[in-house]
Copies of this chain bind each other. A is one copy, B any other.
Amino acid sequence: MDNETRKSNSREKIVNESLKLFSLKGFNNTSISDILAATNMSKGGFYNHFKSKEELFTSVLSEARRVWRLQNLADVEKEDREINRLKKILANFRDRYLKDSVHFPGGCVFLTLSVELDDQMPHLSSQLSDGFQRTKALLRGYLDRAREKGEIRADVSTSDVSEILFSGILGASVVYGLDKSDGQLGRNIQALIRYLESIECGARRPRRDSG
């Protein structure tokens, strides 16, 4: 293994272990010492890669986004209709993303960091906020294409639906993080999937629930 490979490996290790620690303990409660202990590295080794914990934050967020896409976009393009791709994302969120305790042992890291970091640390919180906007835009993209292709009703506001989907999965993360109830998570995501079905063209009226 040459020097460059070793350097890149140790950088990767810092990012991966920090992602886990941020998910478990948050940003402020994760010390450089915690990271050194988890990676078995020296202080000098760490600062060789990152000038500060703030600089590390950006790299960790970028890795977290990679995992987000890996889990939530899995097999999405195999679906033939735009609206079914969106339903697949919701199913992936329930079955893959929120269950990914390897990358996120303490639950969704975006949620943990969002609740912890507010406008007191604008240079960090704005990175999270931008990511939220991009995620909502991603969801809206599927909806806009679904409307263009006549899969959902022309009178549907794709802006409203993307707001509801995005808040919906964020809220589901909060509840699942708290109670780890698969049943509750299932009801939550199923309600969003049925909502999408209700805006499809030629949607059957949903059956009235028994309650």
Residues of A at under 8 Å CB distance from B? 29, 106-107, 111-112, 114-119, 125-126, 128-129, 132, 140, 144, 153-161, 163-164, 166-172, 174-175, 177-180, 187-188, 190-192, 194-195, 205-209, 211
Contacts and interface: CB of A to CB of B under 8 A. Distances in A.
A179 B144 contact: no
B174 A166 contact: no
User: What is the copy number of this chain in the assembly?
Assistant: 2
Contact of A159 (B154, B167, B171, B211): B211
Contacts of A140: 211
Contacts of A167: 167-172, 175, 188, 192
A154 to B, nearest CB: 6
A203 to B, nearest CB: 11
Contacts of A118: 106-107, 177-178, 180
3 closest A-B pairs by beta carbon, nearest first, are A167-B171, A170-B171, A163-B191
A178 B208 contact: no
A157 B197 CA distance: 13
A74 B170 CA distance: 26
